[in-house]
């Protein structure tokens, strides 16, 4: 499932976007600092308003200039005793600092040289006089005002903690539609009636039909459940309220229930709307499960949601859509008719769906002519829409690393190997003995996969360390399988045991390299006996895996069968594995020469594809192979 490069939606209707640096009030936070800066600037400017920038002389130099008959006139400030005098040869003013009062000799000197003496008294301006008095008070008042605004903002945040955190998407903006959702024709068809109801609810009211109040989208992660919900809102042309289950939970008691009430009140004001809750299992788990009591905050939130859904009328025009990948842990009251009474399964995409999804993702990428979407879709069974998007992106990254201008089929092969097998660990160096053991181990897997009639076809085998494995044997199914026959499961077990058995045949001893194969084989055999009824001694009885402990459903419960039945189950699991081991030994013994050929080619080329393995098997059957009975020496 894919979305074709949709642009981020604008802010919800009726809500102003949050401007960085701005508080909840009408004044920005930085305005207070501007006011303080202006006050300080005015104060400094007023203090320096009466300062003179003229030349300054000492009092002795001033008297000497008077004696030389160079001074024309002077002004004497009675407050700070500053003397500003003018010279006869120009209008330049000179400044000096005199005594508190002129002596008789100085006055006589001024009279003798005809210097005009003008006493003045300079007084500061009104602003300069008031600022020293009121500035401390203004600073104190401003501090208390800032503290009050801060407390008011904090109280406002506390009082609004019960408000819903849902994001509103309006129908006026370009939204997601079903054209942006690739594949899933059945899912679109099933959910179309919800769109028809939201477009014209009166049509349903006239007949008396009741549309489902809640639609639950169930599917594995990455299948596009959220995208489908957005597409429903885009097709219906109604407001879309989106919220996640974790948004209801806070450390304060009762916040979750309050947010549920606010969410539904907001939806009712809009008339027709869609409420979408992603990951509803975070608040919709079974009540009373686990060690907590009935007063758990999560349970109170769920109770409020159940009550709000019961309060709906049949045609009010509000539909709830929720998404989860864990429907088994949801509370039964949430799934009963009248609430989430419709479940729409969004499975992993089939072959045709994968083709459409790949076409959407490669639309805006430069593709080479050798890229075949059909081949890529057949080689990616079990991948979700998110996995396919990642595959296309990895192929583009490989093209960029290789300096190519287009994404080719080889880049998709590299990307698929990286997604399925992991990153190649080129820095790991194996000893010759380890490399030989890995080659025979992977050759055993590959040979069984190529020879057995019910096994998935072999795609490639490699002894290059990738991810956590020292070598990888990759199989690709030809068709989509929905049920598995017993002969297919048994051949699959033989392929799993092929690596360990090849090591025992060649080296007469096993190794730790088969640990993961044994775990998978034991798990499969256990399901055959306990869940799939494929044991004659146990019979048509099934015991599924125990419930999740964190739910508390089976915390105090034991197993459902007796000790005698447990012994029979263990014996049957062991019998199946031993039988498959004997069959695997027979297959490898009959094709021992082919095993040596495949191992030799792996040691030489490190990677061999499935067609080459088939050719080597045919070559070994056409005649004896030299050295087929001895281990191939590591190169």
pLDDT at 137: 76
Report the Cα 53 to chain-centroid distance in Å: 65
Q: pTM higher than 0.75 for the full model?
A: no
pLDDT at 95: 66
Distance set, CA 628 to CA 147, 154, 283, 350, 429 (Å) = 89, 81, 63, 43, 27
Can you give the residue ranges of every domain in the chain?
55-123, 167-345, 352-421, 432-622
Tell me the pLDDT tens digit for each residue of 132-147: 677 777 777 877 777 7
Looking from the CA of 270 toward its CB, the CA atoms found within 13 Å total 26
Could you say which of 3, 279, 394, 442 is catalytic? 442
Tell me the pLDDT tens digit for each residue of 546-591: 444 444 444 444 567 788 888 999 999 999 999 999 999 999 999 9
Q: What is the DSSP string of 216-261?
A: EEE--TTS-HHHHHHHHHHHHTS-EEEEEGGGG--SSTTHHHHHHH
Domain 55-123 classified CATH 3.30.720.210? yes
Q: Which fold has domain 167-345?
A: Rossmann fold (3.40.50)
- 352-421, which class in CATH? mainly alpha
Domain 432-622 classified CATH 1.20.58.760? yes
pLDDT at 574: 93
Closest CA to 526 of 584, 560, 574, 486: 574
Asked about 442 being catalytic, the answer comes back as yes
- How many Å apart are CA 434 and CA 341, to the nearest integer? 58
8 Å CB contact between 182 and 346: no
Report the Cα 438 to chain-centroid distance in Å: 37
Residues present in the chain in total: 635
Q: What is the DSSP string of 37-73?
A: HHHHHHHHHHHTTT---SEE--HHHHHHHHHTT-EEE
Question: What are the structure tokens assigned to 627, written together?
Answer: 């050295």
Q: For the chain, which residues score pLDDT lower than 70?
A: 1-32, 36, 39, 42-55, 76-81, 90-93, 95, 97-101, 103, 114, 116-132, 150-175, 245, 247-256, 288-297, 311-317, 424-427, 467, 544-559, 623-635
Phi first, then psi, for residue 60 (nearest 5°) are -65, -45
Looking from the CA of 558 toward its CB, the CA atoms found within 13 Å total 4
Tell me the pLDDT tens digit for each residue of 236-291: 777 778 787 676 666 555 566 777 777 777 777 777 778 888 888 777 777 765 54
8 Å CB contact between 471 and 441: yes
Question: What are the structure tokens assigned to 29, written together?
Answer: 């936070």
pLDDT at 549: 40
């Amino acid at each position: 499932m894919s979305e074709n490069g949709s642009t981020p939606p604008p802010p919800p209707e009726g809500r102003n976007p949050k401007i960085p640096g701005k508080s909840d009030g009408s004044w920005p936070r930085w305005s207070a600092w501007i006011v303080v800066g202006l006050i300080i600037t005015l104060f400094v400017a007023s203090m320096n308003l009466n300062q003179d920038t003229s030349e300054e002389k000492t009092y002795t130099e001033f008297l000497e200039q008077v004696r030389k008959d160079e001074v024309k006139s002077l002004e004497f400030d009675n407050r700070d005793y500053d003397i500003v005098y003018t010279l006869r040869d120009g209008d330049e003013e000179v400044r000096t600092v005199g005594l508190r009062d002129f002596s008789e000799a100085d006055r006589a000197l001024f009279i003798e040289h005809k210097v005009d003496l003008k006493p003045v008294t300079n007084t500061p301006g009104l602003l300069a006089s008031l600022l020293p008095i009121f500035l401390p008070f203004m600073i104190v008042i401003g501090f208390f005002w800032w503290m009050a605004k801060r407390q008011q903002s904090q109280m406002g945040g506390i009082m609004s903690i019960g408000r819903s955190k849902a994001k509103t998407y309006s129908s006026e903006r370009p939204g997601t539609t079903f054209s942006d959702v690739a594949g899933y024709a059945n899912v679109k068809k099933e959910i179309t009636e919800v769109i028809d109801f939201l477009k014209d609810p009166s049509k349903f009211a006239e007949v008396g039909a009741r549309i489902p109040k809640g639609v639950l989208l169930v599917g594995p992660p990455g299948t596009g459940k959220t995208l489908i919900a957005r597409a429903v809102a885009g097709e219906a042309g109604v407001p879309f309220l989106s919220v996640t289950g974790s948004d209801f939970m806070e450390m304060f008691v009762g916040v979750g229930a309050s947010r549920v009430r606010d969410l539904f009140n907001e939806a009712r004001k809009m008339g027709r709307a869609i409420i979408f809750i992603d990951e509803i299992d975070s608040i919709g788990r079974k009540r009373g499960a686990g060690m907590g009591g009935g007063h758990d905050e999560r349970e109170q939130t769920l109770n409020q949601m159940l009550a709000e859904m019961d309060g709906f009328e049949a045609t009010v025009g509000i539909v709830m859509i929720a998404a989860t990948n864990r429907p088994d842990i949801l509370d039964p009251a949430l799934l009963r008719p009248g609430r989430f009474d419709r479940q729409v399964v969004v499975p992993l995409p089939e072959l045709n769906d994968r083709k459409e999804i790949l076409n959407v993702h490669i639309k805006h990428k430069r593709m080479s002519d050798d890229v075949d979407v059909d081949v890529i879709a057949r080689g990616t069974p079990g991948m979700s829409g998110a996995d396919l998007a990642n595959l296309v992106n990895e192929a583009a990254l490989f093209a960029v690393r290789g300096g190519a201008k287009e994404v080719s089929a080889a880049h998709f092969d590299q990307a698929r190997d990286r997604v399925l097998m992991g990153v190649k660990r080129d820095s790991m160096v194996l000893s010759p003995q380890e490399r030989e053991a890995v080659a025979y181990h992977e050759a055993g897997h590959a040979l069984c996969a190529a020879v057995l009639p019910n096994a998935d076809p072999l795609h490639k085998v490699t002894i290059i360390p990738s991810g956590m494995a020292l070598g990888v044997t990759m199989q690709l199914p030809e068709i989509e399988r929905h049920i598995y026959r017993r002969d297919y499961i048994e051949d699959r077990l033989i392929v799993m045991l092929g690596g360990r058995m090849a090591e025992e045949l060649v080296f007469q001893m096993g190794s730790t390299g088969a640990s993961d194969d044994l775990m998978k084989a034991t798990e499969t055999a256990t399901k055959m006996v306990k869940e799939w009824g494929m044991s004659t001694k146990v019979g048509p009885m099934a015991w599924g895996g125990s419930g999740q402990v964190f739910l508390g459903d089976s915390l105090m419960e034991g197993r459902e069968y007796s000790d005698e039945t447990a012994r029979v189950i263990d014996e049957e699991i062991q019998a199946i594995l031993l039988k498959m081991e004997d069959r695997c030994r027979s297959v490898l013994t009959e094709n021992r020469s082919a095993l040596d050929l495949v191992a030799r080619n792996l040691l030489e080329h490190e990677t061999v594809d499935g067609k080459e393995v088939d050719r080597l098997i045919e070559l070994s059957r056409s005649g004896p192979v030299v050295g087929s009975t001895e281990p191939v020496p590591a190169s």
